[in-house]
Amino acid sequence: MAHYKPPPKGVQAIFRAIYTQAEECRETFMDTLREFFDHLADEWDAQQPPDREEKLRDLLTPFRPLLQEARGVLEIGTGTGALIPLLREAAPTARILSVDLSHRMLQYARRRCPWASLLQADARHLPLTPQAVDLVVCHNAFPHFQDKPATLMELARVLAEGGHLLILHDLGRERVNAIHQGVGGVIGNDLLPSGGELGRMLTEAGLSPIHIRDDPEQYWGVGQKAISPPR
């Protein structure tokens, strides 16, 4: 086995400084993203189509069996909480925890659902124990994850073996990407990957089998967390 020789002290200090600077840049970027969504919160519901509830119900339809069976559901990027009543309806006996980066978005979610469990957190660093839930639902938030593979790994970490992760969008990929590019600024590069690329990322996060829908109407990906073989 090759003997590991640590780099000289001066080189270690340079690595540390680069790492610290990269972390500071990341934190500054996340603050800017959070501020963007805090501002958007006041307008978000008014921007949605009048038949949104019906569309969201339709979007959840193929996943009703998973929701019905779920004991613990984690919703990532809840925004103003539009999906929460529909998750409650579809998973009447489950514990449901809804997470968002933006405090202002969560204030609207609280008004909509005074009974909901809400948590302000970054999806990449969840303050949850491993295997805490058996269903993770992420609706209209995936493009905003700055490190998508790392965030999917984090979502897979909190998912119980045999549990499912759903990445859902009520619009097709091209529409979503055109909207974000049109808005520009901090979300201008927040794009959905092709269905094939999403499938690769879900597989690398330890999920299998994977099912993908990537057509002009909807975009979604579903993966199941593998069950470890008995020792």
Residues in the site for ligand SAM, rule: CB under 6 A?
A: 37, 76-80, 82, 99-102, 105, 122-124, 139-141, 144-145
Q: Which is nearer to ligand SAM, 81 or 199 (CB)?
A: 81
Task: State the minimum distance, in angstroms, from the CB of residue 192 to ligand SAM.
Answer: 12
Distance in Å, CB of 111 to ligand SAM, minimum: 14
Query: In terms of CB distance, is 24 or 161 closer to ligand SAM?
Result: 24
Q: Write the DSSP symbol of residue 133.
A: E
Assigned token pair, 45: 């519901």
Q: How far is CA 49 from CA 87, 139, 183, in A?
A: 19, 16, 18
State in angstroms the smallest separation of the CB of 68 from ligand SAM. 21
Task: Round to whole Å and give the CA distance between 77 and 121.
Answer: 9
Q: In the bound complex, what is the minimum distance in angstroms from residue 60's beta carbon to ligand SAM?
A: 12
Report the run of H or E that residue 19 belongs to, with start and end: helix 9-44
Least distance from ligand SAM to the Cβ atom of residue 13, Å: 31
**Cβ at position 82, least distance to ligand SAM in Å:** 5
Quickly list DSSP for 97-129.
EEEES-HHHHHHHHHH-TT-EEEE--TTS----
Distance CA 19, CA 66 (A): 41
- C-beta pairs of 24-30 under 8 Å, 24+ apart in sequence: 26/146, 29/146, 29/186, 30/101, 30/122, 30/146
Q: Between residues 42 and 161, which has the closer beta carbon with respect to ligand SAM?
A: 42
Of residues 53 and 197, the one with the C-beta less far from ligand SAM: 53
**Closest CB to ligand SAM: residue number:** 79
Nearer to ligand SAM, 60 or 76 (CB): 76
Distance CA 84, CA 61 (A): 15
The residue (of 38 and 197) whose beta carbon lies closer to ligand SAM is 38
